[in-house]
Amino acid sequence: MDLEIVFNELSLQAPAAEMNTARLWMEEFINTILSVKPPAGFKRKLRTKSDFNYLLLAPDYRLVQWRNDPDVDPEKRRFIRTLQDKNDPPLPDIADPGIEVIYEQQKAIGLYYAFVFNSLAISLQSDSQWNLSRLKVEVITVDEDEFVTTHETVLHASCCNHVEEHCNWIQAFQERLRQEVIDGLDLWNRREELFPSLLFCESVSKQIQTLYVGTPVLRQVVKKLFELENYCKIWIDGAFNSDLLPSKTTPESTSRLQQLKDELTFLCPDGKTRVFSLHIRMTGGGAWRLHFSEELGPGKIIIGYIGPKIQ
């Protein structure tokens, strides 16, 4: 697996006034990517939309022309070709109808992918708003008929200094790769290795194994499980504190508990049945929920259900 860098298409909405400025933008862009040093044995990969090579850098000067410009360092022109894998599909305009990522009131495809897949977003230094190592975005998800908005952070770079700020994240790539799962079956088979503090009800097995490779909701499931696993490591004594989790945790309403008690009750690994009220919402796959119980704590959490909202 390669270290993915995702191009932020919003950084080239307005072309440079003239060709020399565009060349400077591209030089900084290439230098920024070059400063991303993956761990040994891995390489960088640039993910873009399908129109990347035809983006207008300056009047009558598109990116494809820059790639053939004799006044541009040929090594840098060749370098950008090495970043793009022909076997990778371009980023689609509609990544997931159930989730949108908004930056400064604009829908963002590149930032969507950087957020969902925990990648580094990269921009041209075409405007001062891109001179940031982190971008604040709004994530809007559709949960049944309800729009849910959260505020998230996307790792970002438009210069070498920004990349330096992310050096720990880059060097942790190998550990993230170890934690990477291929699909739901792989996740289930490795649950004890990846999540030693979490116990899984047998009913979760079929739910998890329906997740196939590359689906955004698979990444979200893994992310939420690691949030619970990491919380267990610091939960040494006292009562469960949902405020210490990165994701919002809520119990079911009284009316839903009364109406759906049987559906929310699962047989646990210790042979007891429990009602799983506490849950975390997930983005990227519709109205998905992760239901868990903290009754065995401190330091242990039971996972009872992962799937679409129980009705």
pLDDT of residue 283: 66
pLDDT of residue 94: 65
Phi, psi of 278, deg, nearest 5 = -65, 135
Asked if pLDDT for residue 124 goes beyond 80, the answer is: yes
Q: How confident is the model at residue 86 (pLDDT cuts 50, 70, 90)?
A: low
pLDDT, tens only, 175-203: 776 677 888 999 999 999 889 999 999 99
**Single-letter code of the amino acid located at 273:** T
Q: Give 287 or 228, the one with higher predicted confidence.
A: 228
Distance, CA of 198 to CA of 201 (rounded, Å): 10
Phi, psi of 145, deg, nearest 5 = -100, 10
Asked if pLDDT for residue 98 goes beyond 80, the answer is: no
Asked if pLDDT for residue 288 goes beyond 70, the answer is: yes
Distance, CA of 120 to CA of 196 (rounded, Å): 29
Q: What burial letters (b/e) apply to 248-274, b meaning 16+ CB within 10 Å?
A: ebeebeeebeeeeeeebebebeeeeeb
pLDDT of residue 56: 97
- How big is the chain by its Cα radius of gyration, in Å? 22
**Are 203 and 310 within 8 A, CB to CB?**
no
Collapsed DSSP state (helix, strand, coil) of residue 119? coil
Is the pTM value of this prediction over 0.75? no
Q: How confident is the model at residue 211 (pLDDT cuts 50, 70, 90)?
A: confident
According to DSSP, residue 211 is labeled: P
Report the first-to-last Cα separation within the chain, whole angstroms: 38
pLDDT of residue 96: 66
Q: How many CB atoms lie within 10 A of CB 211?
A: 24
pLDDT of residue 95: 61
**Single-letter code of the amino acid located at 144:** E
**Single-letter code of the amino acid located at 254:** T
- Mean pLDDT, residues 284-292 taken together: 80
CA–CA distances in Å: residue 153 to residues 118, 214, 217: 10, 22, 19
Asked if pLDDT for residue 284 goes beyond 70, the answer is: no
Long-range CB contacts for residues 116-119, cutoff 8 Å, separation at least 24:
116/216, 116/219, 116/220, 116/283, 116/284, 117/4, 117/6, 117/216, 117/219, 118/176, 118/219, 118/223, 119/4, 119/5, 119/6, 119/47, 119/155
Angle between helices 109-116 and 216-234 (to 10 degrees): 40
**Secondary structure, 3-state, 230-242:** HHHHHCCCCCCCH
State the chain's mean pLDDT as an integer: 90
CA–CA distances in Å: residue 147 to residues 99, 109, 175: 9, 19, 34
- Mean pLDDT, residues 99-104 taken together: 92
pLDDT, tens only, 126-151: 999 999 999 999 998 776 667 778 89
Collapsed DSSP state (helix, strand, coil) of residue 68? coil
Alpha helix ranges (H) inside the chain: 19-34, 63-66, 74-83, 109-116, 160-165, 167-171, 173-179, 184-189, 191-194, 203-209, 216-234, 254-259
Question: What tokens appear for 250 in the block?
Answer: 């809520």
